[in-house]
Amino acid sequence: MQKVVSEISQVKHSLTKNRSEHLGKDVWRDFVIPRFFNRVDLISTMPTRLEGGRGSGKTMLLRYLSYHSQFSRNRISIPDNALERIGLYWKADTQFLRLMQKRGVDEEVWLPVFDHYLNLKLSLEVLSSVVSIMESNHAGISQNDIDVVVFDGAKDFGFENESFTLVMREINSRIRQTEVIIQNVHGLESLNKLPISFLQYIVQTTITLFPALKNTMFSVYVDEYENLLGYQQRVINTRIKHSEPPIIFNIAIKLNGMSETLTLSDEKLENRADYSIVNLDSEIEKSGFDSFVAEIFLKKLTEASPTISKDINIDLSICSSPDKLDDRHQKEYEERCKTIISNIFPGRSHQDLADEIFETPRYYNKLIYEIESALKQRDSELSAEDFLSPQFRKAMIVCTSLLYRKSLAVPHIHDQLKKLELGVENKFTNKTAWEHNNFIGCYLRIIRANKASSTFYSGFDVYSALSGGNVRHFLELCKTAFSLIDDNSLSENFTVDRKLQHLAARSTSEELIKEINRFTPLGTQLSNFVKAIGKVFQLCQDKETQSETEVTHFGIKEDDTPLTEEDDRFFKEAEKWGVLKAIESTKNKSTASAATFDYVLNPVYSPFFLISYRKGRKIEIEASALRMMYQNGETAVSAELRKQLRLSHVIDAINQPKQASLL
Amino acid sequence: MIELRSTYSADEYSFPFEFSHGFVGMPIDDRSQYSIEFVRQECQSTSLFQYRQQTLDVVIDGISIECHLLDEHIAKSKPTSILVDSTSLDIPELALILKALHTCSGARIVLLYVEPIEYTSGESKALEQEDFTLSNEISGFEGAGIPTVSMPIDDENLRRFIIFVGFEGGRLQSAIETYDISSEEARIYFGLPAFKPGWESRSMRRNLQALSDQSIGGRIGYCSASSCTDALNSLRKAKASDEGTINYVVPLGTKPNSIASILFTLENPKSVRLLYDLPNKRNGRSRGIGRRHYYHYLVP
């Protein structure tokens, strides 16, 4: 028993380590190979631009591809062909690299300094990779091999030494000297700058002098490329453009992160001709996000708790092997993963939600109250009792909005309900589908006053949908859910109660909204916007009539004023940070601005506003109003805007708890 | 080694001598208006000093100067006793001024810091209740560093991060994320006792959240929010002394703690580096004029 309890705390801990950064550069043991891995060519001689939002696993993937993981000491047997491609990972230290500009020095002077620094850093990586291979379980390189290597051309570059170890040490020392010079500017002009031919020399000599590396190609992966200065991006672009074996340059960026396509000559970097784009978000989605996160979660679980996973009876070690990808795409295996995780995070059907309303006195009272007030508003002779339908709970709940609609006669709705009860064709369940189209909206409106008792955001499928394709968000949700249960209870029954899941989703959502402020440089505006647009969606979903059910995305109208460049930048940033997702608009506009797209709010923010996470309807909002929203936040949702959006009559959700507590 | 002495007064105190030079920043609240005026009274000449993040240079009394030329510029005026208003000057300015003054051996330096009576919390919307809104926009650790002060993270050496935390929990979280800080590498300091009883709990709540989210269980310490000497002693204790470790000080806490961080980097130029996320301070972020602190040292 004690053992299980301690394992549970391990499980919780393993969920907090959900950023690659926590794992260091060697991710061999923890990495779940993405399910698309064999479908995209990440290791060819064609440079790759790997793009994806925050939390899509870019860094993790790059670290997996780098020598730190491929030649990890945790990798017991390393095949010979691992030497064919050695990945070098380089993440720019942006605080420092951004000091390589201005300061009384021209860009033409800074550029060769950056180039020199890059050459030193990458040369060091090349040599470090050789040392890693020597220390790994691969027998290709021995200490003796390293000891006898002589870089006899190093002197031509002004080096004092020739041996492998001393050249490496000298590179290190030159890196430090360069850093001090960059820090203080003094000495910049007289710095002995190493050209790219130095890096080429190091690479060429390394593969010539180590027989095991004779077929080796080095792949450089530049992480967080978007943080580099323009000219620094141009330096990297030039290297991409002229990539050829034995050294290929690749980059990883956030969406919309590539502002610079120029190289150092007049040539532009062209998609397809010069590099191929791999979009991680869409690849993950295409290859089955549900299955992927289920595997990641279960792998963490099995590693942290052998006792609990004993009963699971599934082999997740295949997740670490690129050869086993086909097995992971077997239907049976995928179903098995989902079943196991759905047992841990049990979900609810619409019927369950309807039952919840009937069985929770507060909700039930609110249901009756809504029917009564609708009937009163419509001056109907029918009473709430005429709509009582305990056998057809969903239909009765849907009546809370149908009855408000002026377009529907009250007796007609009553008729249809009676028909449903009699089992004959009716608008609740036939192709008009009142029930299907309106249930969630009506449900959310009823529970709003007392959100904590709900189970709306529960179930693996819901958690997966809330994550919006972002692995990190999924793990955050799971982590919060587990944190609400003590280890002893979990050791008795390893499952998360639906109510707790709902609470966890709300609290995770709130935390993630707080985090938006940190999405530099427009964090405040992004945060303002999310609060405002969330409010708008909330009001839409709160409409009595539910005539616009589940509004979760918006389009941009440019009737009053067109989008400005600043607006465009805002939407690009929102997309870059995954706050909004752009989708093809049904409109066909000729402009190339953000207005050609519709935008969906990241579903992970929906629990905070208690709104639907499903892609529902769209609302058109004026560009000027959207601008106000990112500038001023929630206050931008003024009476005037409400009027424009036909939301004037919706009772403010903030006032609602008071109203409900009277019941 | 910098021999730092500190004292404070509840009321206005006038120095028995006149300082040769004073440095002040722009006023953003009651207390900085007061402190700037005070420095002007106490010094023969007072300079308005501003660091410009966009152009990476400084402006002294309207004249722009590149940071790496600051030493010479300040030395030219042969300062002997300097009063620096740390209330109105922010970390980059203080780091630059103190670094430049560090070349003037024997100079007497007094840093003035005036506490507020209270900080203003932001709009009282549900989300902000826990957070003091002190910054408008934060460049973040991905923005440019401070010229002549910032150095890169050195991957080849072991690292130790000594972090002072304050009211804005998100900044701690950003630091942990940007630099992949692990439990073993972190030493976290809370300002305790805080300027006012009760404030520490807010700072703790927000930061503990960040720490638990990132599963950082590293060593947590406390040092007085208003004491520069206490913070400097804590830093000396927390520093990894072995050759192969680089210490990174991240001042996200109170001004006195930040001043200690700067002095500490000056004391150990080789083994200690400063990391800072350059928040853009909000106007009117605090109200009132509280205790006045004076930190005194002679440049070694």
What is the mean predicted confidence (pLDDT) over B250-257?
93
Residue A398 in any domain: the answer is yes
Instruction: Give the whole-angstrom CA distance, residue A406 versus residue B181.
Output: 60
Asked whether residue A102 falls in the same domain as residue A227, the answer is yes
pLDDT per residue over B65-80, tens digit each?
A: 999 999 999 999 999 9
Instruction: Give the whole-angstrom CA distance, residue B48 versus residue B62.
Output: 8
Model pLDDT, residue A507: 92
* % of chain A beyond a pLDDT of 70: 95
Asked whether residue A133 falls in the same domain as residue A279, the answer is yes
What is the mean predicted confidence (pLDDT) over B215-233?
85
What is the mean predicted confidence (pLDDT) over B133-153?
77
Q: How near does any CA of chain A get to the CA of B139, in Å?
A: 6
Q: Decide: helix, strand or coil at residue A241.
A: helix
Asked whether residue A74 falls in the same domain as residue A219, the answer is yes
Residue A97 in any domain: the answer is yes
| Cross-chain Cβ contact A184/B68 below 8 Å | yes
Asked whether residue A213 falls in the same domain as residue A139, the answer is yes
What is the mean predicted confidence (pLDDT) over B165-180?
82
What is the mean predicted confidence (pLDDT) over A294-312?
88
Q: Report whether B230 contacts B216 (CB < 8 A).
A: no
- B19: which 2 tokens? 């300082």
Nearest to B125 among A104, A185, A634 (CB): A634
Nearest to A566 by CA among A637, A634, A630: A630
Q: Report whether A551 contacts A574 (CB < 8 A).
A: no
Mean pLDDT is lowest, of A25-29, A151-155, A245-249, for: A25-29
Reported for B200-208, long-range contacts at CB under 8 A and 24+ positions apart, including other chains, are B200/B225, B202/B130, B202/B132, B202/B167, B203/B165, B203/B166, B203/B167, B205/B130, B205/B169, B206/B130, B206/B131, B206/B167, B206/B168, B206/B169, B206/B170, B207/B165, B207/B169, B207/B172
Asked whether residue A50 falls in the same domain as residue A123, the answer is yes
| Cross-chain Cβ contact A531/B125 below 8 Å | yes
Residue A599 in any domain: the answer is yes
Give A1's pLDDT tier (boundaries 50, 70, 90): low
Nearest to A303 by CA among A29, A1, A18, A490: A29
Q: Which of A453, A471, A487 is the C-terminal boundary of a domain?
A: A453
Give B131's pLDDT tier (boundaries 50, 70, 90): very low
Model pLDDT, residue A493: 87
What is the mean predicted confidence (pLDDT) over A196-206?
97
pLDDT per residue over A461-507, tens digit each?
A: 999 999 988 998 999 999 999 989 988 888 888 899 999 999 999 99
Say if residue A549's pLDDT is above 80: no
What is the mean predicted confidence (pLDDT) over B168-192?
85
Asked whether residue A84 falls in the same domain as residue A203, the answer is yes
Phi then psi dihedrals of residue B187, to 5 deg: -130, 115
Nearest to A284 by CA among A514, A35, A519: A35
Instruction: Give the whole-angstrom CA distance, residue A201 versus residue A169.
Output: 17
Structural domain containing residue A114:
40-286
Give B218's pLDDT tier (boundaries 50, 70, 90): low
Q: So where are chain B's domains? A: 5-118+284-298, 126-281
| Cross-chain Cβ contact B142/A95 below 8 Å | yes
Say if residue B297's pLDDT is above 90: yes
CB contacts < 8 Å between A and B, how many? 110
* % of chain A beyond a pLDDT of 90: 62
Which residue type occupies A580? L
Residue A15 in any domain: the answer is no
Q: Is B25 on the interface with A (CB under 8 A)?
A: no
Chain A interface, mutation test: which of B173, B213, B265, B278, most A Cβ atoms within 10 Å? B213
Mean pLDDT is lowest, of A179-188, A609-618, B7-16, for: A609-618
Nearest to A115 by CA among A263, A268, A275, A270: A263
Nearest to A99 among B150, B153, B209 (CB): B150
User: Quick one: B108 exposed, middle or buried, by C-beta within 10 A (0-12, 13-18, 19+)?
Assistant: middle
pLDDT per residue over A569-584, tens digit each?
A: 999 999 989 999 988 8
Mean pLDDT is lowest, of A154-158, A525-529, A642-646, B118-122, for: B118-122
Residue A297 in any domain: the answer is no
Nearest to A207 by CA among A199, A198, A216: A216
The CATH number of B126-281 is 3.40.50
Q: Report whether A465 contacts A474 (CB < 8 A).
A: no
Residues 6+ apart with CB under 8 A from A468: A578, A581, A602, A603, A604
Q: How near does any CA of chain A get to the CA of B70, in Å?
A: 11
Q: Report whether A223 contacts A231 (CB < 8 A).
A: no
Residue A506 in any domain: the answer is no
Which residue type occupies A451? K
**Beta strand B118-119 pairing with B286-287:** antiparallel
Alpha helices in chain B (DSSP H): 30-42, 70-76, 91-101, 169-178, 199-213, 228-238, 255-267
pLDDT per residue over A327-354, tens digit each?
A: 999 999 999 999 999 999 999 999 999 9
pLDDT per residue over B97-110, tens digit each?
A: 999 999 999 999 99
Q: Which of A453, A468, A500 is the C-terminal boundary of a domain?
A: A453
Model pLDDT, residue B126: 37
Q: How near does any CA of chain B get to the CA of A97, in Å?
A: 7
Model pLDDT, residue B132: 43
Instruction: Give the whole-angstrom CA distance, residue A62 versus residue B239.
Output: 33
Asked whether residue A277 falls in the same domain as residue A384, the answer is no
Give A653's pLDDT tier (boundaries 50, 70, 90): very low
Total domains in the fold of chain A: 3
Residue of A nearest to B215 (CA): A16
The average confidence (pLDDT) of chain A is 89
pLDDT per residue over A407-427, tens digit each?
A: 999 999 999 999 999 999 999
Residue A523 in any domain: the answer is yes
Residue of A nearest to B270 (CA): A180
Q: Decide: helix, strand or coil at residue B108.
A: strand
Q: What was the ipTM of the complex prediction?
A: 0.89
Which residue type occupies A244? E
What is the mean predicted confidence (pLDDT) over A176-184?
95
Q: Which of A421, A453, A485 is the C-terminal boundary of a domain?
A: A453
Nearest to A556 by CA among A492, A621, A481: A621
Residue A471 in any domain: the answer is no
Model pLDDT, residue B189: 93
Model pLDDT, residue B298: 96
Q: Report whether A413 contacts A580 (CB < 8 A).
A: no
The average confidence (pLDDT) of chain B is 87
